[in-house]
Amino acid sequence: MHIRTISLARRITVFIYAHTQLLHIMRLFCNGDIVRPGPTRFATSFLTLQSLWEHKNALRTLMVADEWTKSKWCNLRTGKQTERTILSVQFWKGVQRALHAAIPLVHVLRLVDGDEKPSMGYLYNAMDRAKEKIKENYQYRPLQYGPVIEVIEGRWSRQMSSDLYHAGFVLNPGVWFKTADRDAAVQTHMLRCVQAMAKMEPDPEVEDRLQKQLDYYLQESGPFSWGTIVRARDNTIPVNWWDKYGGEIPELRKVAIKILGLTCSSSGCERNWSAFENISCPCKFTKYDF
């Protein structure tokens, strides 16, 4: 959907960085660099789009300034193409639409790749929020956000429809109890996960105890309703929360710690982020969170 926009953005950066003097002039107009697409699969392309969007006005000013119009570059075929692209209203609309779809997803990738805390308890909710943000970015117009959501749902169903992600969502108290619409299907996935883990225990009564303890947790019974423990949901890592406060339901506590302690695989994007460490990028995703 955004292949043409990304292709045009690549041409702009390739042309500018191929001419040292023009690159120097661009840096003066933009007060710094624009991000070039790296030799990775996807994310640097969207970093490039965001960088171009940040410097949109400066680049358009450059295209009508004497430094460009009286230069040798504006007479080159590729130079004329670059000028048309930068001055094109449709190109910038395409950049904005691409960022509408990409930025919420890159936030999720950064969450998965983070080292501060295990992300298993946050991923399902983060994907839900990303999809909702994408719909909001496209002003809830199904014809615009539909193809993007379809791709996301397709990838999720093929690669990430594990019960563990749903279980992590339910067992993360800081997220689950703030969710207004607690989908029954999510709890079904949670129950399947609990049953699977119960079967790993030699005691057949473990499953029954787990079911009762899960109800105890979901209904916020006993100490789970105490103010101190409720407040701790928001400022305590889920694994630590269960370790500290889950003593009354030891079997579920054990399951929760195992699930929430898992790390999500970020192997598909690790080489992208390692490349990002060498990118001088003044833009921040939160700044252009459309």
pLDDT digits (tens, 9 = 90+) for 196-210: 777 777 777 888 888
Bin 32: left if φ > 0, else alpha if -120 < ψ < 50, else beta.
left
Instruction: At 53, list the tokens.
Output: 């969007």
> Is the pLDDT confidence value at 281 over 60?
no
Average pLDDT over residues 55-84: 95
Which residues, including other chains, have CB under 8 Å from residue 205's CB and lie 6 or more apart? Answer: none
d(C-alpha 228, C-alpha 36), whole Å:
49
Residue type, 108: V
Comparing 88 with 274, the larger pLDDT belongs to 88
Three-state secondary-structure class, residue 221: coil
Model-wide pTM > 0.85: no
Do 142 and 262 touch, CB atoms closer than 8 A? no
Average pLDDT over residues 116-139: 88
Average pLDDT over residues 244-249: 93
Do 52 and 63 touch, CB atoms closer than 8 A? no
> Is the pLDDT confidence value at 140 over 80?
yes
Tens digit of each residue's pLDDT (9 = 90 or more) over 169-226: 899 999 999 887 677 777 787 888 877 777 777 777 888 888 899 989 989 998 999 9
> Is the pLDDT confidence value at 37 over 70?
no
Per-domain residue ranges of the chain: 3-99+271-288, 163-260
Instruction: At 189, list the tokens.
Output: 């996935």
Comparing 287 with 18, the larger pLDDT belongs to 18
d(C-alpha 271, C-alpha 290), whole Å:
27
Do 176 and 169 touch, CB atoms closer than 8 A? yes
Write down the pLDDT at residue 120.
Answer: 86
Which residues, including other chains, have CB under 8 Å from residue 107's CB and lie 6 or more apart? Answer: 126, 130, 285
User: In this predicted structure, which of 87-101, 124-138, 196-210, 237-251 has the lowest mean pLDDT?
Assistant: 196-210
Average pLDDT over residues 271-289: 41
